[in-house]
């Protein structure tokens, strides 16, 4: 199991310093946030990937928030291809194993959302094949708002049609969408039973606590809020033999990554 923050620590001056900082905290993963656009030169991306590898950091990347393959605007759907591909190319250069995608909202056409995601990602997959990129997974994140596409069932449908895609489990999002549905170890076990068959070789998690309302997610919270109580997740995973990455998205992202790691006695430093 690997643990790390969503993004570079705010106090770091550059990625190289960030990797040294989080390694010094006993963390070994980091998700590079391209949420406003993957604007990085290939040479720089390669240097970042080399620095991560030298520090023993496993990298993933988060694609831009603007993506929506089910948008009512054809221009947005077309631009979504570019936003995914820009992130794929950066991830490939960095040797990051997965990009995390918020694939769509339901908008005015919820009945077309899954088909639209399949169509868009298959076009991306074809472009990846043309460019010889076969080392980056297309990770579809479970979404926390009821108006956003992205349940595990929907993601499973896409995976049946899109090669090289996988599910990314945002535990807090599932909790928020279900209005506080993860209350026990049995709840966590049932969630993992649904998720692991969709996870690929490395199960990629987002962790945090969360504020939610009638429409699901409102905002991420520190782990101390215990909603959901992630010690329940750690307890269920304690003897799990799967290769997992846990990316912390709480407001205290690197500190809470350590808090979650320390919920596993065998990883505690």
Q: How far is C-alpha 91 from the chain's CA centre?
A: 13
pLDDT for res 135: 97
Residue ranges in the chain whose pLDDT is less than 50: none
Q: Domain extents for the chain?
A: 2-267
Domain at 2-267: CATH architecture: Alpha-Beta Barrel (3.20)
| Average pLDDT along the chain | 97
pLDDT for res 109: 87
Q: How many CB atoms lie within 10 A of CB 231?
A: 15
Specify the pTM: 0.96
154: helix, coil or strand?
A: helix
N- to C-terminal Cα separation, the chain: 14
251: exposed, middle or buried (Cβ count in 10 Å: 0-12, 13-18, 19+): middle
Rounded to the nearest 5°, which phi and psi values hold at 201?
Answer: -65, -35
What does the pLDDT look like over 69-79, one tens digit per residue? 999 999 999 99
pLDDT for res 267: 87
pLDDT for res 244: 97
Contacts of 47 (CB under 8 A, 6+ apart): none
Take residue 230 and report the two structure tokens written for it. Answer: 């992630």
Does residue 228 have a cis bond before it (omega within 30 degrees)?
yes
H or E element that contains 105: none
């Amino acid at each position: 199991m690997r643990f790390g923050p969503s993004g570079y620590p705010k106090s770091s001056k550059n990625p190289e310093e960030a990797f040294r900082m989080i390694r010094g905290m006993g963390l070994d993963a980091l998700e590079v946030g391209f949420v406003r656009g993957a604007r990085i030169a290939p040479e720089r991306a390669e240097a970042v990937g080399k620095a991560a590898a030298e520090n023993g950091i496993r990298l993933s990347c988060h694609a831009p928030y603007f993506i929506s393959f089910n948008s009512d605007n054809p221009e947005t759907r077309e631009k979504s291809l570019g936003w995914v591909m820009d992130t794929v190319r950066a991830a490939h250069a960095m040797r990051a194993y997965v990009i995390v995608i918020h694939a769509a909202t339901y908008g005015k056409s919820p009945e077309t959302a899954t088909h639209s995601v399949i169509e868009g990602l298959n076009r991306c997959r074809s472009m990846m094949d043309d460019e010889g990129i076969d080392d980056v997974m297309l990770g579809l994140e479970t979404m926390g708002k009821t108006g956003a596409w992205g349940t595990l069932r929907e993601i499973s449908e896409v995976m049946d049609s899109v090669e090289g895609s996988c599910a990314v489990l945002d535990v807090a999002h599932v909790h928020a969408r279900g209005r506080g549905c993860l209350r026990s170890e049995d709840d966590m076990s049932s969630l993992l039973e649904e998720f692991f068959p969709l996870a690929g070789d490395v199960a990629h998690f987002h962790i945090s606590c969360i504020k939610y309302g009638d429409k699901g997610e409102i905002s991420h919270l520190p782990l101390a809020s215990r909603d959901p109580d992630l010690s329940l997740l750690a307890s269920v995973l304690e003897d799990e033999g799967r290769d997992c990455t846990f990316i912390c998205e709480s407001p205290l992202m690197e500190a809470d990554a350590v808090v979650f790691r320390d919920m596993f006695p065998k990883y505690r430093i």
